[in-house]
Structure 1
């Protein structure tokens, strides 16, 4: 057995039991997925120190995503977050289930339908090869734990959460200005109290070309701020071509979600993306998701009026009945008139 195989087997012991079982099965029963996306084109870079509404608007219209520099988040904080996350993921599956309790949660195999692993009962074909920790940032003070690593991580998250709220607020304010949104209405379209952080680990896999970490999707958020640290795997769809989004030190990736596309009356894009597994190195990423206020009504000439609560309920219904998220199409006026 090679050194890499020994390392992979040790890592597998920290994964959910079903991951271990299916990983062994995949050695002989893997299916081939799409080839790796093309190397990254020069994607937009937005400098927070000299934030230009025109440049930001161009990135949001053409890409729905950009690389953020001079964001003011200390590199030491980002490194500490990664180190603590790696230590938490290295705990046994049983320990992770035990130490994560409300308001945080531990999830695996799914990113949307369950925080208990129940979605795995629908069958291996529906599994996302990812495990993660969910932290509602506004409720971190309620997180009581005896685990020293999780307690230290909570303190780091409190600091990181302040930076994320600042970044989200600054970026959204500039987007609203560029779109000439009504100030009174748009101020409810980004509610910092809704912000949560998902810390994901994508496992080593013996046949990384036979399954996805996360399959093609769009985020439901207003915007998402991603720290993908050192290991790549994120791919976005741009002009019908899949492109790799490679990690670059001291930068963050910001992508727009469905709420922002609707708020912008489809001027901005909710970018389609996916995450590919790596057979040599596990990937740890941290995504911040923020949404409108629960009762904030999004009005647009392209969509019937709806709230994020309406949208979330429809997504859950579609996941339950169809097995996948339909998203904004369910709220388009053309859809409403034809139903």
Structure 2
């Protein structure tokens, strides 16, 4: 059972008889319907269909060592087990700690909308280009976490570049002009912990679309990720050793709406924690996205608009703000 002192205070009223073991049978009703893409022999027709119809697919033969995926998950669990106060003190810059809200908004803003609107999640936000600056040498656990993140980040950059180049080819976009639309230097890793709950309907992450070009998810065996498609929710089954690729808003705009940035959410589980590691990558700083459906904009423009909307409206509007509406 997790030490309740490791949770943000707002999460500590959870069931104190929290289960330590997870029964995979809980996921038996999760049909594995999302498309499967093999990185070692990418079929452009299958990739294009997955991006158009789903905006999400499962990646196999990605050559990220299973030992690295598992070690990073286990090390993240150890870091999450530190006291809430320690995490607030240790993780300020460049690695930051957040809870109750997606990392795009400052921690705690969801609290102003009332406790029922808190995302039941906490996490670490890691800008990979700065992770070497994370002062962790005095603590073996934190140093190991940093080294694993650095190695993992290199693999994520490779995957993102390979997949993006295949998508650019599929969309018949100019490969030279498209290079600035995905920059490994912008890559972030976010480690998430979703506390177990006595209730079964709490949201670990509310319905949203990712703002990235691509997101690459490494989830543990505990389910919870759900994709919204054709007016219904699909559970995304956790299958060890596979990655889930999710297209973000930037990719939808780059593709001129040919590809989809899908709506998805995470449901917190009853009496069991869920851990996941997600990589996000964005366009190069100052890179202008141009397409016939949108006014020219940079990711900085997009992020500023999203943060303003969250502050004033309480939610993200997203791509609709940049759409060219035909009369």
TM-score (norm 2): 0.92
| Cα displacement string for residues 90-110 of structure 1 (whole angstroms, at most 9, x for unaligned residues) | 111111112213100110001
Q: Distance in 2 between matches of 1:41 and 1:89?
A: 30
The equivalent position to 1:275 in structure 2, one of 266, 275, 279, is: 266
| Cα displacement string for residues 266-312 of structure 1 (whole angstroms, at most 9, x for unaligned residues) | 00000110000111310000110000012111111111111111111
Whether the 8 Å CA contact 1:99–1:147 is kept in 2: the answer is no
2:180 partner SS: coil
Whether the 8 Å CA contact 1:113–1:119 is kept in 2: the answer is no
CA-CA distance at 1:41 after TM superposition: 4.6
Q: Determine whether 1:108 maps to 2:99.
A: yes
CA-CA distance at 1:117 after TM superposition: 3.2
1:18-167 mapped onto 2 (5 Å cutoff): 18-21=10-13, 23=14, 39-145=30-136, 146-167=138-159
2:87 partner SS: helix
The Cα RMSD (Å) is 1.8
Match of 2:172 in 1: 180
Whether the 8 Å CA contact 1:227–1:252 is kept in 2: the answer is yes
1:128-277 mapped onto 2 (5 Å cutoff): 128-145=119-136, 146-209=138-201, 211-277=202-268
Q: Distance in 1 between matches of 2:109 and 2:298?
A: 27
1:200 partner SS: strand
Q: Distance in 2 between matches of 1:212 and 1:116?
A: 16
1:13 partner SS: helix
CA-CA distance at 1:184 after TM superposition: 2.4
CA change 1:180–1:329 in 2 (3 A) is: same
Counting helix residues as a fraction of each chain, which structure ranks higher?
1
2:163 partner SS: helix
Whether the 8 Å CA contact 1:303–1:333 is kept in 2: the answer is yes
Equivalenced residues, count: 315
| Cα displacement string for residues 165-216 of structure 1 (whole angstroms, at most 9, x for unaligned residues) | 000000000000000111222111001111000000000111122x200010
Runs of at least 4 residues off by over 6 Å? none
Higher deviation after alignment, 58-67 or 114-123: 114-123
1:304 partner SS: strand
Q: Distance in 2 between matches of 1:162 and 1:333?
A: 37
Q: Distance in 1 between matches of 2:193 and 2:200?
A: 14
Whether the 8 Å CA contact 1:231–1:247 is kept in 2: the answer is yes
TM-score (norm 1): 0.89
Q: Distance in 2 between matches of 1:229 and 1:248?
A: 8
Q: Distance in 1 between matches of 2:139 and 2:298?
A: 38
Q: Distance in 2 between matches of 1:310 and 1:303?
A: 13
Whether the 8 Å CA contact 2:59–2:244 is kept in 1: the answer is yes
Q: Determine whether 1:324 maps to 2:302.
A: no
